[in-house]
Amino acid sequence: MKITNLKKKYDGKTVVDSVSFTIPRGKVLSLIGPNGAGKSTVMGMISRLIARDAGDIHFEDKDLSHWNSKELAKKLAILTQHNNVQMKLTVRELVAFGRFPYSGSRLTAEDVRMIDKAIAYMELQEFEDRFIDELSGGQRQRAYIAMVIAQDTEYVLLDEPTNNLDIYHASNMMRTVRRLCDELGKTVILVLHEINYAAFYSDYICAFVDGKIAKFEKVEDVINKETLSEIYKVDFEIIHINGKPLSVYY
Amino acid sequence: MDSGILTRPATGSAGIARGERVKPYRTPAQKANVRNLIFLAVIVMVVCACYLLVNAYPDKPQLFRYVLSLRIPTLAVMLIAAFAIGGASIIFQSIINNRIVTPCLLGMNSMYTLVHTAVVFVVGSGSIVATNSNVSFAVDLVVMGIAATFVYSYLFRKTGNNVLYVLLIGTVLSSFFGSIQSTMIRVMDPNEYDTLLTTLVADFNNVNSEVILFSLLLIAALVIFLRKELQLLDVITLGKDQAVNLGVDYDRTVRRLMLGVVLCIAVATAMVGPISFLGLIIANLARQLLRTHKHSHLILGAALMGMLAIIAGQLISQHVFSYAVPISTFITIGGGIYFLYLLLFKKGGI
């Protein structure tokens, strides 16, 4: 996926300005940056949730806007933070929605197998008949990830997947992200606030400041004192654990 | 973990063996729902039979036939109105993602009241527009249908498909129509007002068979016109982001569904009067009975609940109170109490 000169304005205020980058296939890419830097907006535009004002998003052989929405749903899945379901929906029914782009609401044997796999992959078997609104935040997030897995797309976009999760569930979530990439061969793009999760679990980091890309490099080239201080305007110390750079800030 | 099936080359998605349909997976709760629906349908049939046969003098054939000729059209009206209101309410709640809203909030009831008051105010209660029920139905339907279609489509475009804005504007419009109407009433001849008042209360009697047939056809046409969108309702319930993610044209679907809701309410209101408050009760009763997100079940459930409520109410109104208390009184009182119960004890949850 190749993004060129992406722009977005809200009420005359430019929130995303001339953003261009190419998403590396089969890797984990984290978008980081201060609040209001435009990373979620970029994510929204890549996933067609937000309309762009200008720029091209070239996906596979054509621009994103020329894709049939349903066909795109078989290639690219997005999970946002707004998942407030008011209806009575069981985990299994939610996961089954992942097959909607393929078979509508009538499931085939293939669909059922994919749903079973997704539920097993996220270890949700014992919850599968529970209602979504009766689950804890961590379990609910896992159910949504299972739905994305059932959707069986090459690209998976996650908007702040660790939001509202405690450390235990958040680090589990990040390990799942890594597995999606390493075991299932997916390209994962995340918006993250936790720099260290981004540093530890991703391959590439794209840092945004004021609607522009400040740095788009491999993890080691972004997570260093100078770059981070420049992006966040806070003092950083870098330590290394298991060969990965981690930042300390206060 | 065997991930062979989950991982698929990027080009492979077209290669799935299609066609082999499997029996839909049903959770235990869904099986119970099917049972509940059948049970509800049986009760509705029993109540229908009661309505037709209680005090119908089956021993006197001529009288019996006359009673039936009066009751069958009324029964048809009740069934159609219940289906229209139940379906519209469920769809409306699912779009807004809130179960204590009703299409009432769009201001259709006040629009109906205003149209009727305006007719009596301008041409008088003796005019054919007010006395002939076919003509008055046509006027209601055309005015409400056109006004609602125009107003709500325009509002949707103007607000960028923001349903909550439309709801807010609907509430304001509702008071606006109400104020115009009360101004007219103040300067109206008291005798005219008396005649007017009877048409402002929901009433299932005295509906012409032409009107019944036309309403039935219109609702059937709406269902056919919106069949694709109705199938998408389950996905719409997941919210805009998820619906778009799964490849649904959310804005277009919601716009068309809203049009369907408005027209359904217009038909029901033109046919029997302002009654859409009933939708709040029956939609919630259906959601309470059928703990599911499947709209095919929910719409059917709400329609059946509506039939049960209206026919039972009519039975009581007819045989216990001998028409002294109109059915809308029961609906308003019952609905009000149930609404308070929902607010106080259910905390908006389901």
Q: Which token pair is A196?
A: 């260290």
pLDDT of residue A163 exceeding 90, the answer is no
Q: Tell me, yes or no, whether A159 and A245 share the same domain.
A: yes
Instruction: Verify whether the Cβ–Cβ distance B8 to A118 is below 8 Å.
Output: no
- Cβ B163 vs Cβ B254: under 8 Å: yes
Torsion, Cα A29 A53 B169 B92, to 10 degrees, reads -50
Confirm or reject contact between B23 and chain A (CB < 8 A). no
Q: What is the pLDDT of residue B20?
A: 53
pLDDT in tens, chain B (350 residues): 344 444 433 333 333 444 455 566 566 777 888 999 999 999 999 999 999 998 888 888 889 999 888 899 999 999 999 999 999 999 999 888 888 888 888 888 888 889 889 888 888 877 777 777 788 888 888 888 888 788 878 887 787 767 778 888 888 989 999 999 999 999 988 888 888 887 787 778 777 788 899 999 999 999 999 999 998 998 998 888 899 999 999 888 988 898 899 889 888 888 888 876 788 889 999 988 888 888 999 999 999 999 999 999 888 888 888 878 878 888 888 888 888 888 887 654 44
Residue A24's domain comprises 1-75+155-250
Chosen domain end from A152, A171, A202: A152
Q: Tell me, yes or no, whether A199 and A232 share the same domain.
A: yes
A19-60 pLDDT, tens digit per residue, is 999 999 999 999 998 888 888 899 999 998 888 888 889 988
Q: Tell me, yes or no, whether A200 and A180 share the same domain.
A: yes
Chosen domain end from A136, A152, A168: A152
Q: What is the pLDDT of residue A89?
A: 87
Tell me the residue length of chain A. 250
Number of domains in chain A: 2
Q: What is the pLDDT of residue B23?
A: 60
Q: Tell me, yes or no, whether A14 and A129 share the same domain.
A: no
Q: Tell me, yes or no, whether A162 and A249 share the same domain.
A: yes
Task: Give the whole-angstrom CA distance, residue B250 versus residue A247.
Answer: 41
Q: What is the pLDDT of residue B24?
A: 60
Q: What is the CATH number of the domain that holds A188?
A: 3.40.50.300
Q: Tell me, yes or no, whether A168 and A147 share the same domain.
A: no
Q: What is the pLDDT of residue B202?
A: 76
Closest alpha carbon to A82 in A37, A144, A127: A144
- Spatial strand order of the sheet with A187-191 comes to A76-79, A155-159, A187-191, A28-32, A204-209, A212-218
Nearest chain A Cα to B238, which residue?
A85
Sign of CA dihedral B106, B112, B118, B119: positive
Q: Tell me, yes or no, whether A140 and A162 share the same domain.
A: no
Q: Tell me, yes or no, whether A66 and A172 share the same domain.
A: yes
pLDDT (average), residues A169-197: 92
Task: Give the whole-angstrom CA distance, residue B100 versus residue A120.
Answer: 36
Q: Which of A60, A86, A96 has the CB atom closest to B350's CB atom?
A: A86
- Contacts of residue B59, defined as CB under 8 A and 6 or more positions apart, other chains included, come to none
| Distance in Å, alpha carbon of B170 to nearest chain A alpha carbon | 23
Q: Tell me, yes or no, whether A133 and A43 share the same domain.
A: no
DSSP class of B24: P
Q: Which token pair is B3?
A: 């991930």
Q: What is the pLDDT of residue B338?
A: 85
Average pLDDT, chain A: 89
Instruction: Verify whether the Cβ–Cβ distance A83 to B5 is below 8 Å.
Output: no
Chosen domain end from A121, A152, A183: A152
Q: Which token pair is B295?
A: 């709209």
Q: Tell me, yes or no, whether A160 and A225 share the same domain.
A: yes
Confirm or reject contact between B97 and chain A (CB < 8 A). yes
Q: Tell me, yes or no, whether A148 and A159 share the same domain.
A: no
First to last CA, chain A: 36
The burial class, CB within 10 Å (0-12 / 13-18 / 19+), for B46 is: exposed
Question: Helices B163-186 and B133-158, interaxial angle, to 10°?
Answer: 140
What residues of B are in contact with residue A48 (Cβ under 8 Å)?
244
- Cβ A211 vs Cβ A17: under 8 Å: yes
Dihedral pair phi/psi, residue A145, rounded to 5°: -65, -40
Residue A195, amino acid? I
pLDDT (average), residues A193-199: 90
* Number of CB pairs, chain A paired with chain B, less than 8 A apart: 133
Closest alpha carbon to B15 in A74, A15, A5: A74
| Distance in Å, alpha carbon of A226 to nearest chain B alpha carbon | 37
Q: Tell me, yes or no, whether A45 and A161 share the same domain.
A: yes
Residue ranges of domains in chain B, CATH in brackets: 57-346 (1.10.3470.10)
Best of A11, A78, A87, A111 to disrupt the B interface (most B CBs within 10 Å) is A87
